[in-house]
Amino acid sequence: MTKWRRYGYWASLLAFASIVGFIFVLLIGEFRRLTLIPMYVPRHPLLLGCFVGAGLAYYGKKRVGALLIAFSLLAVVVLFPVMGFNISAGHEIDRPIRVATYNVWFGHGGRPALVDEIAAMPFDIIVIQAGYGSLEEQLKQRLPDRHVRQDGELAIVSKYPFHDVIVPPAFPVGTPAMYVNYVVDTPNGALRVFNLHAWSPRHALGGADDAHENIGAREAQIHGVVEAARSDVPPFIIAGDTNLPALSAIKRRNFGPLNDAFDEAGSGFGYTFPANHPWMRIDRILGSDGVHFANIQVGERGVSDHRSLSADMEIGGQ
């Protein structure tokens, strides 16, 4: 083996170890800044690293077969659980209720254009996060046939009437709950809709906020909405900006018993953020037992820094 071939062999081993190490850090979960940062970086370089590592193994001409198999298996792990690629045959729904979630970024991308965008969305129920103060009034003027309500930054636009709107108080430590519970009277019966916007890790990633406090507050908000939903009468959905990407430990601990619309019926990656070149699926629609999903779609780039996520759903049946 020449010197350069030896370098290629050891470089392939280093690439393999680095990718496995990164995945291990992701599996540890976010509990401090060191493990929080990898959770929110693009995963595409890991897949590229698998191909580069395989190429280096082939060039090194040592244990080529074993290394190529190892990199092939690693690429599958990266593509599916790490990057979140999903394959679903889906199923048909006889009487779909079309729901969507959309973080509108406080209208920074242009408020008139945003109202136009929401008004053109062909959905029965739209839950909105990061709404600005006058959004409710503007939507009511633009959509007089819809039922619209805004509580803080969270809003809902619905073809169906809703009642029993519950805005939970802040937690004892002062952290806002960041969800609103609506009971929507759909043609298929009452549906409890939880509109969620868990705290962003943005400032903690940059060091401006305490990472441990930021992570704890986000988990408290996620746990709070799940507990509120499960303690109520089903069926229900939780929709919104969870700020939890694939392999998040907070996601695993809290969303396990729920049906994720994209996991059930979506295909591809389903990335919703950032809108220009998405690499994370943090906007989610989840349902209780008895809620089934089909036709999952990520919206085209609009005026927000997120893309919308929509699903057809039915209550009962399969």
pLDDT given for residue 232 in this prediction: 82
Counting Cβ atoms within 10 Å, is residue 38 exposed (0-12), middle (13-18) or buried (19+)? Answer: middle
Looking at the structure, tell me whether residues 76 and 103 fall in a common domain. no
Looking at the structure, tell me whether residues 48 and 156 fall in a common domain. no
> Looking at the domain assignment, is residue 91 inside a domain?
no
pLDDT in tens, 250-282: 999 999 889 999 999 999 999 999 999 999 999
pLDDT given for residue 241 in this prediction: 98
Last residue of a domain, one of 27, 53, 82: 82
User: Which structural domain, as residue segments, surrounds residue 49?
Assistant: 3-82
Pairing mode, if any, of strands 125-129 and 97-103? parallel
Looking at the structure, tell me whether residues 242 and 110 fall in a common domain. yes
Per the CB < 8 A criterion, the answer to whether 278 and 103 are in contact is no
DSSP string, 226-293: HHHHHHSPSPEEEEEE----TT-HHHHHHHTTSEEHHHHH--B----BSSSS--B--EEEEE-TTEEE
pLDDT given for residue 317 in this prediction: 54
Q: What percent of the chain has pLDDT over 90?
A: 87
> Looking at the domain assignment, is residue 294 inside a domain?
yes
pLDDT given for residue 206 in this prediction: 86
Last residue of a domain, one of 82, 107, 130: 82
Looking at the structure, tell me whether residues 39 and 63 fall in a common domain. yes
> Looking at the domain assignment, is residue 90 inside a domain?
no
Number of structural domains found in the chain: 2
pLDDT given for residue 23 in this prediction: 97
Looking at the structure, tell me whether residues 167 and 68 fall in a common domain. no
Record the pTM: 0.95
Looking at the structure, tell me whether residues 27 and 120 fall in a common domain. no
pLDDT given for residue 3 in this prediction: 81
**Six token digits for residue 55:** 């190429």
Looking at the structure, tell me whether residues 278 and 144 fall in a common domain. yes
> Looking at the domain assignment, is residue 121 inside a domain?
yes
Looking at the structure, tell me whether residues 69 and 127 fall in a common domain. no
Per the CB < 8 A criterion, the answer to whether 112 and 294 are in contact is no
3-state secondary structure (DSSP) of residue 184: strand
DSSP state, residue 185: E
**CA atoms of 156 and 182, how far apart (whole Å):** 9
Looking at the structure, tell me whether residues 210 and 270 fall in a common domain. yes
Last residue of a domain, one of 23, 49, 82: 82
Looking at the structure, tell me whether residues 137 and 270 fall in a common domain. yes
Report, as ranges of residue numbers, the positions in the chain whose pLDDT lies below 50.
318
Assign residue 223 the CATH number of its domain: 3.60.10.10
pLDDT in tens, 217-234: 999 999 999 999 999 888
Looking at the structure, tell me whether residues 245 and 181 fall in a common domain. yes
Torsions phi, psi of 26, nearest 5? -60, -40
> Looking at the domain assignment, is residue 92 inside a domain?
no
Residues facing residue 237 across a β-bridge? 193, 287
pLDDT given for residue 316 in this prediction: 77
pLDDT given for residue 278 in this prediction: 97
Looking at the structure, tell me whether residues 147 and 286 fall in a common domain. yes
**CA atoms of 32 and 106, how far apart (whole Å):** 28
